[in-house]
Amino acid sequence: MSLLLAGNGNMLERIMSPFQLYKTPELPELRKLAQEALSKRFFNHYRGYFKGMCAEHERNGAPRAKTLLYTYRVALTGVHLLKTGRLEADLNVTAPAYGFPDVLDLIAIKREQGEKSALTADQDQAFKQHWPDLEQLLDEATANSPLLEQSPNRQEVSQWLRSKRLSSIM
């Protein structure tokens, strides 16, 4: 919960994902708390993750569709979250919505050729040229975000966690 309140997108995505390995009766409550915990603090996670994925893509040697897709996925997930207050991690939705419809071609390459599908240098450059645009979108989304600077429900999260801990020992 502290990671969520600190703006850790991994925790947010795990809680909000429709693909749960294990569902508990507490999941709906947890999702409500997570939704209410959204803040501008998530910018740091998505911006850092974006930069990290760009670096990983560059150091991999042969350009791969998978790592290039991750750069777009994390940046556009962050943009959408900061602009709308809703988590949407599907590039099929966010890429066209934010002006990157060509990313759908990159998704098709990965689907058709598999996880390790290599890209030509021209394909790689065509997608990498938009990295500055993705950074700018993240910056603008944060500057204009309706989200608060800090999670507004810190006390409620703390109380919920305490109650769950107490109920587990009684």
**Residue 158: per-residue pLDDT:** 94
Rounded to two decimals, the pTM is: 0.93
Q: What is the pLDDT along the chain (170 residues), one digit of tens a residue?
A: 999 999 999 999 999 998 888 888 999 999 999 999 999 999 999 999 999 999 999 997 889 999 999 999 999 999 999 999 999 999 999 999 999 999 999 999 999 998 788 999 999 999 999 999 999 999 999 999 999 999 999 999 999 999 989 888 87
Read out DSSP for 5-28? HTT-HHHHHHHH-S--SS--TTHH
Cα-based angle 165, 167, 170 (whole degrees, multiple of 5): 115
**Residue 119: per-residue pLDDT:** 92
Cα-based angle 98, 133, 50 (whole degrees, multiple of 5): 90
| Helix then strand then coil, % of the chain, to nearest 5 | 70, 0, 30
